[in-house]
Amino acid sequence: MCQNDVRGLLRTLAQPGNSQHGACSGLQSRRVLTSNELLGEEGELIIVHNDCRYSLRLTRQNKLILTK
């Protein structure tokens, strides 16, 4: 059974070098991807983290949802 929850995954993704907050933030340069680049035409991305599978997808209300 997976011990990490979605919050743990989000903390990992938020670590330096894993996301982008803009050049004005004073933080080191980080990668920037649009949701379209991540989700592709399918509208869903499967993320494997510590042997757990997570689904990042676009909802009908045009919001992102990350589920285990």
Q: How many CB atoms lie within 10 A of CB 22?
A: 9
Query: What pLDDT tens digit does each residue of the chain (68 aa) get?
Result: 454 566 666 666 666 555 444 445 555 688 899 999 999 999 999 999 999 999 999 999 999 999 99
| Residue length of the chain | 68
- Residue extents of the structural domains in the chain: 6-67
* In this structure, CATH architecture of domain 6-67: Ribbon (2.10)
pLDDT, position 51:
95
CB 56 within 8 A of CB 44: yes
pTM > 0.85: yes or no = no
pLDDT, position 18:
52
